[in-house]
Amino acid sequence: QVQLQESGPGLVKPSQTLSLICTVSGASIRSAARYWNWIRQPPGKELEWLGAIGYLGSTYYRPALSSRTSISRDTSKNQFTLRLNSVTPEDTAVYYCASGRSYGGTARSEYEHWGQGTQVTVSS
């Protein structure tokens, strides 16, 4: 059974870097043809895809956020990490990690496995 679990600080100050880790169990993040995604949902808004890292380590980013976003992985720990720089209150959201055979989508049905989500608030 594949499980994903997000972890990281729930409160980040404006202009700082948001950093979240997704720990995966039940599957390897190097599994063929799988992509490991970060998605968020701001309050009152739709799901927003942020980026992904593929099974070969290639990264993919939402164009509007690409200059502030970095996704990396630690295969020894079976984890992948999101970093979002220069955050503002508009980055306040519930952040999810999700896996599947694709990336870039914003529908829950497009991904096979989801973490429970973690609330991140940007505030001074």
pLDDT digits (tens, 9 = 90+) for 67-113: 999 999 999 999 999 999 999 999 999 999 999 999 999 999 999 99
Tell me the average pLDDT across 48-60: 96
Q: What is the mean pLDDT of residues 28-35?
A: 90
pLDDT of residue 66: 95
Which pLDDT value is given to residue 86?
Answer: 98
Residue 44 pLDDT > 90: yes
Mean pLDDT of the chain: 96
Query: Would the pLDDT of 117 be above 90?
Result: yes
Q: For tokens 């980026």, what's the residue?
A: 51
Alpha-carbon distance 3 to 45, whole Å?
A: 26
Give residue 33's pLDDT. Answer: 87
